[in-house]
């Protein structure tokens, strides 16, 4: 075995030991900050640090491989050059800076999302301008980088003697260098075969403990590799016939007639009773608005006076849940009425994001002008391609004149400016005698939490509380302006969040953290009431079309919640790995590597149990997600305008 008195190994060991020390400190600081949530015993603590060490070493094997390869192959004549040795010392300084930067980035990411680097961090890299602008507006980034640079230089100076001693030590003989290369290759292969995104850390149990046992950089690259997961390969399955039967049972309604030839095709003709009502629809999707922030849901800080007043005059869904933890998941569920299949949302599956039977397509076929109105730049999260390819025209920040925007930050224009654009579109369509469907997406309730001055009594940039209160203020102003419009009486206003402000918890899918508000407001057509059964974002589209009494051909996985004969409620919720079904009391969870669990009393003590596919709730869970993955792969949710027209005509 090569000994560490050889130059290359001594130099490399100094860098790797420094990285290990920072990984240890990062894990310890995060643990101390969340000691109550993690709930660790001595045995858990030993396991946490033991598993963490495996991930730390695995990452360092991958990260150090290119440098180790260079050090072992570097010729003696080059190694001995003074400039080369200075270059290696500078490289050590750069490595230390990267080490400190990673530690700080992990802390900030954990503070925002409650987890190590994951699929969200990978996703954000694609939209670097918005993310970088957001970071610059949220944190004192330049002083922070300067401080990290000073720390890295200071530590390099402190390590100058051992680094120089390492570089001046005898070099590995060729035979031993070859042996070290073979060992390096074996280590890389061993890590690749034995260590994965969820092994040795296990599925289930306390999520904080599992995340603390992870390594942020390792999980980042693992998430990058697994950004799309094949359902059949990674998750528990049922026979196709069983999925078909269960899935059709889930979506069946007395006014629905299945017409798909594939047994798992849920395409069906929906015959809504009564005269069709061509009411305008304004669907406002609000960034990160957890139900817990609303006074009418129990908050005592007075952040949402306008929404609290609106609740008194609306149809309110008090047990309503987001499907995911990101904006694209909320838009996917509201637009396509599909469960959150593993990996990327359909919104972001570039090249496969278009041509679906969306809510916009359905209303467009009925003569509506379907418009997606976004406060930011629509290339973010691939929104423009998704909505433009599914029956909508686009109004976003890039199509709005600078003079019409009173305020902008990293994510886009202020909510009040977004609503101004929506009013312009509505006025134009009304003047042309055309019903409109406006699907809005706001941005102000997002870090850096900045908004125009003088609107509310909390200073801009002060945190989430101010952003929530400004979001509420802008909604109040929008409705006040809309009430003066000639089209107001014939318009349905829908206010719903895209997801909550934070979804991290002790469980993989902490149900309470997915709760969001849903208000439907139309003084002439919708009586104020409360709907208390469990409901999901995927139920919004069929419920709206039911309110309009429109007949259509549906590929929706959701239900019309307002039918008197609706089935018992359920909510589909997940993240990019774990897929859940909540029935109002218990939660079934599907995880990669065929993991199957359920949490009884999911909103209470949440007892976790291992189950198999004989469990009824688990079978429902599988049917939704296996069926949705099959439907996406086979294009069973594609828009078929000819079939739509012929099927509706055949009913009359």
pLDDT tens column, 240-258: 999 999 999 999 999 999 9
> Is position 287 annotated in a ligand binding site?
yes
CB atoms under 10 Å from CB of 509, counted, come to 25
- What is the DSSP pairing of strand 268-270 with strand 552-554? antiparallel
Ranges in the chain, pLDDT < 70? 1-4, 36-39, 113, 118-131, 134, 197-198, 202-205, 223-229, 502-505, 643-652
Backbone phi and psi for residue 526, each to the nearest 5 degrees, phi listed first: -125, 120
pLDDT at 650: 46
Q: What is the DSSP string of 477-530?
A: HHHHHHTTSTTGGGEEEEEEESS-S----SSSS-GGGGB--EEEE-TTT---EE
Buried b (16+ CB within 10 A) or exposed e, 41-59: eeebeebbbebbbbbbbbb
pLDDT at 39: 67
Strand partners, 408: 413
> Is position 327 annotated in a ligand binding site?
yes
Strand partners, 600: 607
Which residues neighbour 52 within 8 Å (Cβ) at sequence distance 6 or greater? 23, 27, 212, 213, 214, 215
Closest Cα to residue 322, out of 131, 616, 571, 504? 571
Closest Cα to residue 445, out of 497, 482, 402, 494? 497
Element (H, E) at 413: strand 412-413
pLDDT at 646: 52
- What span, in angstroms and rounded, lies between the C-alpha atoms of 54 and 48? 10
> Is position 499 annotated in a ligand binding site?
yes
Burial class (CB within 10 angstroms; exposed 0-12, middle 13-18, buried 19+) of 158:
exposed
- What span, in angstroms and rounded, lies between the C-alpha atoms of 613 and 246? 13
Write out the two tokens for 115: 């987890």
pLDDT at 176: 85
- What span, in angstroms and rounded, lies between the C-alpha atoms of 389 and 356? 8
- What is the DSSP pairing of strand 436-441 with strand 369-374? parallel
By annotation, the residues acting in catalysis are 327
Judged by DSSP in three states, 329 sits in helix
Q: Are 602 and 583 in contact (CB under 8 A)?
A: no
> Is position 309 annotated in a ligand binding site?
no
Backbone phi and psi for residue 408, each to the nearest 5 degrees, phi listed first: -140, 145
As a whole number of Å, the end-to-end CA separation of the chain is 84
Closest Cα to residue 630, out of 191, 231, 75? 231
- Site of tokens 């290696």: 88
pLDDT at 226: 58
Closest Cα to residue 537, out of 295, 272, 317? 317
- What span, in angstroms and rounded, lies between the C-alpha atoms of 156 and 138? 30
- What span, in angstroms and rounded, lies between the C-alpha atoms of 99 and 121? 17
What number of residues does the chain have? Answer: 652
Task: Classify residue 171 by its DSSP letter.
Answer: P
CB atoms under 10 Å from CB of 482, counted, come to 17
Q: What is the DSSP string of 332-396?
A: HHHHH-----SSS-GGG-TTSS-SB--HHHHHHHTT-EEEEEESS-TTGGGHHHHHHTTT-EEE-
Closest Cα to residue 159, out of 82, 91, 101? 91
- What span, in angstroms and rounded, lies between the C-alpha atoms of 385 and 377? 12
Entry pTM: 0.78
pLDDT at 467: 96
CA 521 to chain centre: 28
- Site of tokens 């900030």: 108
């Amino acid at each position: 075995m090569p000994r560490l008195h050889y130059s290359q190994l001594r130099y490399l060991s100094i860098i790797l030991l420094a990285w290990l020390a920072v990984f240890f400190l990062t894990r310890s600081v995060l643990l101390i900050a969340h000691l109550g949530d993690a709930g660790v015993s001595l045995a858990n603590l030993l396991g946490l640090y033991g598993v963490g060490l495996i991930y730390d070493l695995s990452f360092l094997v991958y990260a150090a491989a290119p440098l180790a390869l260079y050090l072992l192959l570097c010729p003696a004549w080059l190694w001995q050059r003074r400039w080369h040795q200075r270059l290696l010392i500078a490289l050590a300084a750069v490595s230390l800076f990267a080490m400190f930067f990673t530690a700080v980035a992990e802390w900030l990411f954990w503070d925002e999302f409650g987890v190590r680097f994951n699929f969200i961090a990978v996703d954000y890299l694609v939209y670097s301008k918005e993310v970088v602008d957001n970071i610059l507006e949220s944190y004192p980034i330049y002083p922070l980088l300067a401080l990290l640079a000073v720390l890295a230089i200071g530590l390099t100076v402190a390590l100058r003697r051992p680094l120089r001693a390492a570089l001046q030590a005898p070099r590995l003989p060729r035979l031993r260098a070859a042996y070290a290369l073979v060992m390096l290759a074996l280590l890389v292969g061993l890590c690749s075969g034995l260590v994965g995104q969820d092994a040795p850390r296990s599925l289930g149990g306390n999520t904080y403990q599992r995340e603390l046992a992870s390594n942020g950089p390792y999980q980042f690259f693992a998430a990058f590799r697994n950004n799309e997961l094949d359902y059949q390969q990674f998750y528990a399955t049922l026979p196709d016939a069983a999925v078909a039967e269960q899935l059709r049972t889930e979506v069946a309604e007395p006014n629905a007639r299945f017409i798909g030839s594939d047994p798992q095709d849920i395409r069906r003709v929906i015959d809504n009773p009564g005269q069709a009502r061509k009411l305008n629809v304004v669907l406002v999707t609000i960034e990160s608005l957890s139900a817990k922030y609303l006074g009418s849901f129990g908050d005592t800080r007075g952040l949402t006076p306008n929404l609290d007043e609106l609740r008194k005059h609306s149809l309110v869904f008090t047990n309503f849940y987001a499907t995911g933890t990101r904006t694209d998941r909320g838009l996917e569920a509201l637009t396509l009425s599909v469960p959150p299949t593993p990996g990327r949302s359909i919104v972001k599956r570039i090249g496969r994001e278009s041509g679906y039977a969306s809510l916009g397509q359905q209303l467009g076929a009925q003569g509506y002008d379907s418009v997606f109105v976004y406060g930011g730049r629509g290339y973010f999260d691939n929104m423009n391609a998704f909505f433009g390819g599914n029956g909508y025209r686009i109004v976003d920040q890039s199509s709005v004149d600078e003079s019409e925007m009173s305020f902008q930050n990293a994510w886009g224009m202020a909510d009040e400016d977004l609503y101004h654009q929506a009013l312009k579109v509505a006025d134009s369509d009304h003047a042309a005698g055309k019903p409109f469907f406006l699907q809005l997406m706001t941005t102000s309730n997002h870090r850096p939490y900045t908004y125009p001055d003088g609107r509310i009594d909390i200073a801009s940039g002060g945190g989430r509380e101010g952003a929530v209160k400004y979001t509420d203020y802008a909604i109040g102003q929008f409705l006040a302006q809309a009430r003066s419009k000639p089209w107001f009486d014939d318009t349905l206003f829908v206010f719903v969040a895209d997801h909550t402000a934070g979804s991290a918890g002790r469980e993989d899918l902490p149900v309470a953290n997915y709760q969001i508000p849903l208000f439907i407001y139309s003084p002439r057509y919708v009586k104020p009431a409360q709907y208390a059964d469990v409901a999901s974002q995927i139920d919004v589209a069929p419920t709206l079309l039911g309110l309009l009494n429109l007949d259509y051909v549906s590929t929706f996985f959701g239900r019309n919640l307002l039918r008197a004969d609706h089935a018992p409620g359920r909510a589909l919720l997940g993240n990019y790995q774990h897929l859940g079904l909540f029935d109002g009391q218990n939660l079934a969870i599907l995880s990669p590597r065929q993991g199957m669990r359920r949490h009884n009393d999911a909103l209470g003590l949440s007892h976790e149990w291992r189950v198999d596919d004989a469990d009824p709730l688990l079978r429902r869970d599988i049917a939704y997600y296996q069926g949705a993955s099959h439907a996406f792969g086979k294009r069973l949710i594609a828009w078929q305008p000819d079939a739509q027209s012929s099927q509706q005509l055949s009913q009359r």
